[in-house]
Amino acid sequence: MVQYPKSDVLKRLPKQFFADLVVKTNAEVAKGYDVINLGQGNPDQPTPQHIVRALQDAAENPLYHKYSPFRGYDFLKEAIATFYKREYDVDLDPKKEVAILFGSKTGLVEIGECLLNSGDTVLMPDPGYPDYLSGFALANLKVDYMPLRKENAFLPDYGSLGDSVLDRAKLMFLNYPNNPTAVTAPADFFKQTVQTAEKHNICVVHDFAYGALGFDGQKPRSFLQTPGAKDVGVEMYTLSKTYNMAGWRVGFALGNPSVIEALELIQDHYYVSLFGAIQEASAKALLGPQDCVRELVHRYETRRNAFFEAARKIGWNAVPSEGSFFGWLPVPNGFTSESFFDYILENAHVVVAPGVGFGRSGEHYVRVGLLTEPERLTEAVERIGKLQLF
């Protein structure tokens, strides 16, 4: 049988760091151990019933059995604009400032191809969401990293990057509430971001995947709430986390009209938009009762409190998460993030995500997913506590 070689584009794709960790985890499960897996980022709750019923009803509409409009139905774009006005007091033109995406990941991967040329430079947070790198590789982009350090509240320090780095960058990725560090960004930081982008002619891409998930009564800020934000960039939102619709693959990009047009143009060539019934159900999710979102935030906050209280009791000290459904904690002395992963998997049968998998600056941290009930999270910490590492 002929073995056809992969293209140079595919050869540029980064290796999947976490694939080997999944193999190790599955090996422990195969041995019969009760493994508590806190290393993943997949929402564990079902989609709210009123949204599921909306899809079931809409699926019977023969209109949706045909191709959807290439750029999506106007009613969904209008619902998105209404949602943003209600939640963030941000005005959006549904026709020019909203693009429907096959999940926000699609837009995050496509945007480099839309705006940059081979060899251009993009700024990426370190640590950051690894799949950003896939888009950079496909577009053959160069990457400069923006370290996220504890002493700067896990926010990029633009002053430390220097004008030479900022001048060559054409695109900047941000993500707050942040994966993996679980911090939120204040208004002053976004104001500084707009000023930096204007000065150096950088397009900002704010990944707002966890926008609904803020704790202690604090609502995470949209980048688009910042004066001038639409002049210099876009925000990408997803229904995956807000409404537990990860498998539905519904996201959208919002903001600068020229960027929105570029995203829609590339999608004209890749897709024929989402199944219309999914679009109708998504609109009803955005416009309908939001009790399910408030209940979800309360659930994650309860889990966060249980986990960090248990961690404090064993001497595993870290700042509790401000947003997202993750925790970001230092590893004990004498361990790297990978060796800590191996040690607690083998000896406590608990899985965490090594911080180095999110970038060099993630070393000596691990990410914990708050995606199981409080009792299970507490048990995981207690198992680790018995190892007397702290």
pLDDT tens figures, 350-376: 999 999 999 999 999 999 999 999 999
The pLDDT of residue 372 is 94
Sequence-distant (≥ 6) Cβ neighbours of residue 346 within 8 angstroms? 28
In 3D, which of 66, 69, 72, 87 has the Cα closest to residue 260? Answer: 72
User: In the numeric block, which tokens belong to residue 192?
Assistant: 């500084």
Domain 49-287 has CATH 3.40.640.10: yes
Paired strand residues for 123: 144, 172
**Is the model's pLDDT at 78 over the cut of 90?**
yes
Say yes or no to pLDDT of 19 above 90.
no
pLDDT band for 191, please (50, 70, 90 cuts): very high
- Mean pLDDT over 25-43 rounds to 91
351 strand-pairing partners: 37
Residue 22 confidence class, pLDDT cut points 50, 70, 90:
confident
Q: What is the mean pLDDT of residues 58-71?
A: 95
Which helix (H) or strand (E) segment holds residue 101: the answer is strand 98-101
**Distance (Å, whole) CA 361 – CA 124:** 12
Q: For 322, how many CA atoms within 13 A lie in the half-sphere containing its CB?
A: 19
pLDDT of residue 272 exceeding 90, the answer is no
Q: Average pLDDT over the chain, rounded to whole?
A: 95
- Residue 360: how many other CB atoms lie within 10 Å: 11
3-state secondary structure of 255: strand
pLDDT band of residue 306 (cuts 50, 70, 90) is: very high
**Confidence (pTM):** 0.95
If pLDDT is split at 50, 70 and 90, which confidence band does 15 have?
confident
pLDDT tens-digit map of 113-160: 999 999 999 999 999 999 999 999 999 999 999 999 999 999 999 999
pLDDT, residue 18, reads 80
For residue 226, give the DSSP letter: S
pLDDT of 42 strictly over 90: no
Write out pLDDT tens, residues 312-339: 999 999 999 999 999 999 999 999 999 9
pLDDT for 40 equals: 86
Section 100-108 average pLDDT: 94
Per the CB < 8 A criterion, the answer to whether 317 and 66 are in contact is: no
What stretches of 147-275 show up as alpha helix (H) in DSSP?
158-161, 163-168, 187-200, 229-232, 239-242, 257-270
Please determine, for residue 20, whether its predicted confidence score (pLDDT) is greater than 90.
Answer: no
> Which residues, including other chains, have CB under 8 Å from residue 119's CB and lie 6 or more apart?
140, 141, 142
- In tens, the pLDDT along 199-212 reads 999 999 999 999 99
Q: Which tens digit of pLDDT belongs to each residue from 180-189?
A: 999 999 999 9
pLDDT of residue 21: 82
The domain segmentation of the chain, as residue ranges, is 8-46+292-385, 49-287
Domain 8-46+292-385, what fold?
Aspartate Aminotransferase, domain 1 (3.90.1150)
Fold matches, 8-46+292-385 and 49-287: no
Q: Cα–chain-centroid distance for residue 371?
A: 15
